[in-house]
């Protein structure tokens, strides 16, 4: 198992280098000049402009800039925001709990609903229930996030008035963050109504972000279940007179979950990508909205470092999924 883990870990190194090259090149292709952005409407002299170019290293050749950037990365320095002058890693760690909270809620909803729907659709293959579930999954997967989010805001917030439009909690509540997770911090604050407010702000963003992973998980679960239900050991279990729930839950679903676990791990990238749109629509103060704002501000350090940090998180999650896959199915390790 250790050899399997080390082989998967070794693959992360060239992957991370490739991502760093893409992120570094992408930032240089963005229009606009971050130095001129610092000047604002007042402008600046040519001498001051050259000084700032040298300060941020923009006067050096691209390969020298990349080498210096990777050297700083190896020392744990992801750079400093050009706009806020704060260390990038500090800003990331401050905002990341908001994204984690939203993504965790979304993946929990997607798994809790998607897996049972996929099992039901497989067991009732060809029925109206199967066609309804798969049709809804196709619609959910095809639906644009920004359109779906705005539609829910108009209906539930605008027409019905059930949920807030944006933010993480009402402005009526204020307390210092302890964990960074608003649901936990609102409980720890002891303020009446704070947890309810935080939960109500979380409902719509969670639904929007969970829609695509839910559809993918449901379809993958159905496909895996259909394959497993045709295996000899399932037919043998049925011939022995075992209850259908035991056959499906213990023998079929347990083996069908192997590809489903992989699918769930791959949805982390979808969640982080979807968080960019979801957080922007709902003004959710996470890394997605932070990245979008940084693009508009031409904050090279934040966009570049943020892309690398997000990519690193996705790679680590995929590594964990690979290890879990090897634990579930020992044949994978060989």
Per-residue pLDDT, 328: 62
Per-residue pLDDT, 330: 60
Average pLDDT, the chain: 81
Per-residue pLDDT, 326: 65
| CA–CA separation, 4 and 334 (whole Å) | 8
Per-residue pLDDT, 153: 92
Query: Does the structure show a pLDDT above 80 at 129?
Result: yes
Region label for 158, one of left (φ > 0), alpha (ψ between -120 and 50) or beta (otherwise):
alpha
| CA–CA separation, 177 and 188 (whole Å) | 10
Per-residue pLDDT, 249: 67
Query: Does the structure show a pLDDT above 80 at 239?
Result: no
Q: Give me the residue spans of the domains in the chain.
A: 88-296
pLDDT per residue over 297-334, tens digit each? 777 778 888 888 888 888 887 777 777 766 666 655 55
Smallest Cα–Cα separation from 89: which of 301, 233, 334, 236? 301
Q: pTM of the prediction?
A: 0.80
| CA–CA separation, 157 and 231 (whole Å) | 48
What is the torsion angle, in degrees rounded to the nearest 10, for the CA atoms of residue 304, residue 282, residue 90 and residue 97?
-120
Please report which confidence band the pLDDT of residue 202 belongs to, taking 50, 70 and 90 as the band edges: very high
Right CATH number for 88-296 from 1.20.1260.10, 1.20.1560.10, 1.10.3720.10, 3.40.50.12370? Answer: 1.10.3720.10
The most confident of the ranges 26-40, 108-122, 241-255 is 108-122
| CA–CA separation, 105 and 211 (whole Å) | 12
pLDDT per residue over 133-156, tens digit each? 888 888 888 888 888 889 999 999
Are 18 and 25 in contact, with CB atoms under 8 Å apart? Answer: no
Per-residue pLDDT, 105: 92
């Amino acid at each position: 198992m250790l050899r399997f883990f080390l082989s998967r870990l070794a693959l992360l190194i060239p992957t991370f280098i490739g991502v760093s090259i893409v992120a570094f090149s992408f930032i240089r292709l963005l229009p606009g000049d971050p130095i001129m952005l610092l000047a604002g409407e007042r402008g600046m002299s040519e001498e001051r402009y050259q000084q700032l170019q040298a300060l941020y290293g923009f006067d050096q050749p691209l390969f020298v800039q990349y080498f210096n950037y990777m050297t700083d990365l190896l020392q744990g320095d992801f750079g400093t925001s050009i706009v806020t002058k704060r260390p990038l890693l500090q800003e990331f760690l401050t905002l990341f709990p908001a994204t984690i909270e939203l993504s965790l809620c979304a993946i929990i909803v997607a798994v809790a609903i998607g897996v049972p729907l996929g099992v039901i659709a497989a067991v009732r293959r060809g029925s109206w229930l199967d066609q309804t579930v798969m049709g809804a999954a196709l619609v959910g997967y095809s639906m644009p996030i920004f359109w779906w989010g705005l539609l829910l805001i108009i209906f539930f917030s605008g027409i019905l008035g059930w949920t807030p439009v944006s933010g993480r909690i009402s402005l009526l509540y204020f307390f210092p963050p302890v964990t960074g997770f608003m649901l936990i911090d609102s409980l720890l604050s002891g303020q009446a109504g704070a947890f309810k407010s935080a939960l109500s702000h979380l409902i719509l963003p969670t639904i929007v972000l969970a829609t695509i992973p839910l559809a993918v998980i449901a379809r993958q679960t159905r496909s895996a279940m259909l394959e497993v239900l045709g295996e000899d050991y399932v037919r043998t279990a049925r011939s022995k007179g075992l209850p259908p729930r035991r056959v499906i839950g213990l023998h079929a679903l347990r083996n069908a979950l192997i590809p489903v676990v992989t699918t769930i791990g791959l949805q982390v990238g979808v969640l982080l990508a979807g968080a960019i749109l979801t957080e922007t629509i709902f003004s959710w103060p996470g890394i997605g909205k932070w990245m979008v704002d940084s693009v508009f501000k031409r904050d090279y350090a934040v966009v570049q470092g943020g892309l690398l940090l997000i990519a690193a998180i996705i790679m680590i999650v995929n590594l964990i999924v690979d290890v879990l896959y090897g634990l579930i199915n020992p044949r994978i390790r060989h």
